[in-house]
Structures are given as structure tokens and as C-alpha cells.
Amino acid sequence: MLDDFMTRATLAGIGVAGAAAPLGCFVVWRRMAYFGDATAHAAILGVALSLAFEMSIFPGALAVALIMALTVTQLAGRGYAMDTLLGVMAHSALAFGLVAVSFLSGIRIDLMAYLFGDILAVSRTDLLVIWGGAALVVALITWRWSALLASTLNEDLAYASGFNPKREQLILTMCLAITVAVAIKVVGVLLIAALLIIPAAAARGTARTPEAMAGIAAAIGGVSAVVGLRGAYLFDTPAGPSIVCVAAIIFAALNLVRLGTERQS
């Protein structure tokens, strides 16, 4: 079954969607959209370093994404507004990554595949990495769900409940770095933030509880992956952007339905 490239691509898309959904909820609740974007942009530097040292893409992208996320977390509130700091770090990391790639002589690089994903080229090994990373992210978030929620709602509430908000921020940062690293092959560094944010934002208006929002976001992400891949196959469009387009259409449709319901009531 896994010899079929479309089957591998579909499983990869569902795996990334499963990791991105609960994490995306916290990104939306904490208004960390630009934070996720900056981490994803930094991953291209990790790709360049991995290729330079002739190693797998995953560890290099993970290491650089994690360093970026931790650096931004430590520098936040030290003289610069968060959006300014994220803008500087994100675009600088992306620029340095692209320049580093240009110095890799003798190595054929499909830069578009890293920027926008190449899900149709996912191998069995890639699939194991994607599902392993997704399982780790889901396990971490499930384990720390109550603590993460309390820290998101109010830091004082978290301290009163016996949780350390800084530790929960670190866990969230680690999950974000892992998700970015495993999602590069699927949607690329420029679209990872969209896969994190759009399903969660679409689920926000329909869910009544945080747990329901995470579940609905996962369903929307999974449907977006399956339908987007099918559309890319039928209409010969880029797979990664097609997945994001389907998620955006679902977001728009759910909001139109919600607005229509509110007008009727």
C-alpha cells in the first residue's frame, strides 16, 4: 500500500495536520501567529546546514527552528516590541538560509520544494519521521494540556494552580519547532504557519470547549490535506498550496455560515 506515492502523501498530510491542530489552537489563543512564521522561516537555514554536512534535513531544521524559538522567547520584552523582534529574526534567518544554500556547490537543490513543500516526494522514511514527530507533539500537548491552558488564560492562575508558565512556554516552543521540522516536506517553510493557524481559526467559531476546538481543527486539517491532494492531482496544481487553499475555503465557509446564523437569530 505504501508503494503508492499518493497514499504516502495523504498519510503525511494527515500526520502533519494532527500535530498542527492542537498546537495551532494555542498559537491562536496566545496570538503567536508571527512567532510560528518566524520559526518556520528559520528552518530554511537548518536545511542549508543539513545539506552542507550531508545529513538528514530533519535534525538540522529542528535544531535551527528550536534555537530561533528559544532566542525569540528569551529576547522578548528586552527593549523591542515582539512583532518587531519577530520580523527581524524571521526575515534575517530566511535570508541567511537562502544565501547559505547558494554556497552549496555540487549539490542539486530544489529550493521550491523547501519553500512550498514537496509532499508527493515523501518517502517511507519521511513518513516515519513525520508520524513520529506528530505523535511526540500530540503526546506532549496531551500531557501538559491543563498546564498549557492555565498558562494561556492567566499566568497568575497558572502559578496558583502549581504550574510554571515559563516551563509551559518552553514545552510549547519545543512542540512548535518539532512541527515545523516535520512539516517542511509537506507544505514548506512559507506555508507552515498557514497550516497551524487556519484550521484552528476555522474551528474557533464552532467549538464550545478548548478540547472540541482542537478536535475540530484536526478534522479540518485532515480534510484539507485529503481534498487538497486530490485537487492537486486532478488539476495539476502545487500540492502544498492546494492544501492551504482548501483550509482557507473551509475557514471562509464556516464563517459565512456563522454570520448567517447570527443574522437569523
The per-residue pLDDT for 265 is 67
What tens digit of pLDDT does each residue of 134-182 get?
999 999 999 999 999 999 989 888 998 899 998 898 899 889 989 999 9
CA–CA separation, 13 and 131 (whole Å): 10
How many CA atoms does the CB half-sphere of 71 hold within 13 Å? Answer: 15
Question: What value does the mean pLDDT take over residues 26-43?
Answer: 84
The per-residue pLDDT for 199 is 96
Phi, psi of 163, rounded to the nearest 5 degrees: -105, 150
DSSP 76: T
Mean of all residue pLDDT scores within the chain = 87
Q: Longest C-alpha distance within the chain, in Å?
A: 65
CA–CA separation, 264 and 214 (whole Å): 28
Please enumerate in sequence order all residues whose Cβ is within 8 A of that of 189, keeping only pairs 6 or more positions apart, or say none.
40, 41, 43, 44, 94, 114, 115, 180
The per-residue pLDDT for 70 is 80
> Which of 36-45, 153-162, 168-177, 191-200 has the least mean pLDDT?
36-45
> What would the grid cell of residue 164 be?
510554571
CA–CA separation, 166 and 176 (whole Å): 15
User: Are the CB atoms for 118 and 130 separated by under 8 Å?
Assistant: no
What tens digit of pLDDT does each residue of 218-262 get?
999 999 999 999 999 999 999 999 999 999 999 999 999 988 887
Q: Which residue has cell 512542540?
A: 175
What tens digit of pLDDT does each residue of 93-139 get?
888 888 888 887 766 667 788 888 889 889 999 999 999 999 999 99
> What would the grid cell of residue 49 be?
546546514
CA–CA separation, 202 and 168 (whole Å): 25
CA–CA separation, 87 and 76 (whole Å): 12
> What would the grid cell of residue 53 be?
554536512
Q: Mark residue 79 as left, alpha or beta (left: phi above 0; alpha: psi -120 to 50; beta: remaining).
A: left
The per-residue pLDDT for 75 is 73
The CATH classification number of 5-189 equals 1.10.3470.10
38-55 burial, b at 16+ Cβ within 10 Å, e below that, comes to bbbbbbbbbbbbbbeeee
Range among 46-50, 168-172, 186-190, 221-225 rated most confident = 221-225
Question: What value does the mean pLDDT take over residues 35-50?
Answer: 84
> Which of 51-55, 130-134, 206-210, 242-246 has the least mean pLDDT?
51-55
Q: Mark residue 106 as left, alpha or beta (left: phi above 0; alpha: psi -120 to 50; beta: remaining).
A: left
The per-residue pLDDT for 90 is 80
- Domain regions of the chain by residue span: 5-189
pLDDT band at 51 (very low <50, low <70, confident <90, very high): confident
